[in-house]
Structure 1
Amino acid sequence: MKYWRKYHPTIGTDDPRYHQVSLIYSVLLIMLIYFGLIGLLNITLFDAADIAIYDFSGFVLAAAIYFYVSRGGNFKVAGWIVTLTLVFVLLAFIHLAEGRNYSLLWVTILPPIAFFLLGPTAGTWVTGLVFAYCGWFLYKLLGLGVPGNLSLGALFNFVEVATAQVFLFRYYERSRREAYEQLQKTSTTDPLTGIFNRLHIDNSLKSLLASSKRDLKPTSILLLDVDHFKRINDEYGHIAGDKVLVAIGSVMKETTREGDLVGRWGGEEFLIICPDTDGDKAANIANRIVERLNKQPLLDDINATVSIGIATASGRDKKDTVETLLQTADKNLYKAKADGRNTVVASYDDIALTSAHSTT
């Protein structure tokens, strides 16, 4: 487990910010160790108090950024601060060294950090401007005759390497982000219906229920089952049955609200998570789905209806768990089936209430 997770317990390995935050903390720790150690060496061994002041200033700045991030600071802002601090450190070091001892090589560590923290576009601008400045600085040193075997060939080599790095890291970061987004979509999406899969819906329910208790707000779930789905498969074939599931998934997406999570629970069962939603609002959503399916055939002459069981966590009862919530919804779903299907059953304070529609 990453040590910084104690500051950000809600950021899991499946969170797109995970690796970015990890890099921010890694860079900050390296800066703290580097500035602290080099500052001490400049005072004790090299008698360079002026450079030591610069080192300790960097140490204080890195510590301030660390404090800001660990106390819940905006990660995007933190990424910019870390990158610009690194730029300041690198350019200050290059100026202090006056380009000697291959000090310009240090600027090559900027592209991977800038592109990863800022993204392809901002990373290109920041890296391009810093490299352009370093190229100009190197050109000025050549005119001043600064020692260190600097030559026009060295300038050309630096420009060529800097240009290659900008393009390579830009391409790499863009490809990495596209691959990550595709992987995220594949890992959270049901391949048939295009809605969330059970793994994602399970994880989301755990997270939202925890937030519900913390914020004292209700969370409702709707457990849906397609009525007589076996009969649809037997009469029209499994391909038609798959199309029915896809169509029902689309109806649920169109009928629910923007913040609701719609997922395939398994087979012909679906689960909808409704954050900040009490039982009455959840029942309204469920009834809209039932009414929508009753209005017209899903596919050609194929009619399909659903039975829905609803359960609500108040956000104030510590006994509410994912398991108890699902058990209640499942119990109400079975009651909806027993009541004739094409029906909504919701529990309010352990009392099951039924909203009946025409049965099939």
Structure 2
Amino acid sequence: MKYRELIFLVVVPLAAVALLLVDVLVWSPSWYGDTERNLRNFLVPSVITLFGVLAYLVLERREDKRRERELQETNQRLLESEARLQELAITDPLTGVFNRRQFYDNLQAEFRRARRYSRPLSLLLVDIDHFKQINDEYGHIKGDQVLAAVAVILSNEIRGIDVLARFGGEEFVVMLPETSAEAADVVGEKLRRTIESSELPDGIETGLNISVGVASLTETMESEEELVQAADAAMYEAKQKGRNRVSRQPTTRLDPVRDHHLRGA
């Protein structure tokens, strides 16, 4: 029991009874024959007790409201922390776009929908050309700034229904729902030109270019991974042809094993 509760539930009633006993035993020897005094002796401690109980109830109500506010604030902080943890679980901490895991979750759902309703679906795999040279010449901090800047540019150039993610290293991937291969080519070229004409972070004088691989869902694809591999093959082809270009998925299947030195250059 709290100290305040002890005062109002025990001390106040005891004090009222003590007043009654003092009045009866000390100040009113003829208690049994004095009706008016008897009534007063009954009312005084009763009123004191009543006021004590009412005061306790008022203070307890205030305490309940305070505890309710604290509980609400705690719940709000927990919700914010949960949302933050959820955000950290699905986004890339450097660029703020979706991470690879979340991209695959979105792609899997969209792939199934596109296959079920025979709707177009395309991917763009974007690789920053000569990114290793940027890191070597300007340092990794500047390299991180370039990655973050590219993420912002790509985010601003795509639709709300499109999904942008960091695929790994200097690679980004864009999922384009309801987009044919021809339309995806147009989007890829728009992204390439925008990156090419964009200003880089302060201190970086090297021009920035990207190679873009375009792939679209076909009737023979059985999984979303095949679509990703097709975009990867197209991007590798863009690298082989000189970089800073857009290539569509080859008509023949390529070996998914890549020359990582070429792709990271």
User: 261-270 or 214-223: which moved more?
Assistant: 214-223
Look up the equivalent residue of 1:298 and give its one-letter code.
L
Stretches of structure 2 that go unaligned for 5 or more consecutive residues are 1-52, 254-264
Look up the equivalent residue of 1:303 and give its one-letter code.
G
User: What TM-score do you get using the length of structure 2 for normalisation?
Assistant: 0.67
Distance 2:200 2:222 in 1: 36
The 8 Å contact of residues 196 and 262 in structure 1, kept in 2 or not, is answered as yes
> Residues 158 and 222 (structure 1 numbering): CA distance in 2 closer, same or farther, change over 3 Å?
same
Look up the equivalent residue of 1:207 and give its one-letter code.
A
Q: Does 1:311 pair with 2:218?
A: no
Q: Compute the displacement of 1:208 (Å).
A: 1.7
> Secondary structure, in 3 states, of the residue corresponding to 1:311?
strand
Map 1:184-333 onto structure 2 (within 5 A).
184-299=86-201, 300-313=204-217, 317=219, 319-333=221-235
Larger RCO (CA under 8 A, 6+ residues apart): 2
The 8 Å contact of residues 221 and 227 in structure 2, kept in 1 or not, is answered as no
> Secondary structure, in 3 states, of the residue corresponding to 2:249?
strand
User: What TM-score do you get using the length of structure 1 for normalisation?
Assistant: 0.50
The 8 Å contact of residues 296 and 303 in structure 1, kept in 2 or not, is answered as no
Map 1:41-190 onto structure 2 (within 5 A).
156=58, 159-160=61-62, 162-164=64-66, 166-190=68-92
The 8 Å contact of residues 279 and 348 in structure 1, kept in 2 or not, is answered as no
> Secondary structure, in 3 states, of the residue corresponding to 1:196?
coil
Distance 2:179 2:146 in 1: 28
Distance 1:296 1:183 in 2: 33
Look up the equivalent residue of 1:310 and give its one-letter code.
V
The 8 Å contact of residues 213 and 238 in structure 2, kept in 1 or not, is answered as yes
Q: CA RMSD in A?
A: 2.7
Stretches of structure 1 that go unaligned for 5 or more consecutive residues are 1-150, 352-359
Distance 2:198 2:221 in 1: 41
> Residues 238 and 161 (structure 1 numbering): CA distance in 2 closer, same or farther, change over 3 Å?
closer
Count of matched residue positions in the alignment of Structure 1 and Structure 2: 201
> Residues 262 and 162 (structure 1 numbering): CA distance in 2 closer, same or farther, change over 3 Å?
same
Q: Compute the displacement of 1:215 (Å).
A: 3.4
> Residues 344 and 157 (structure 1 numbering): CA distance in 2 closer, same or farther, change over 3 Å?
same
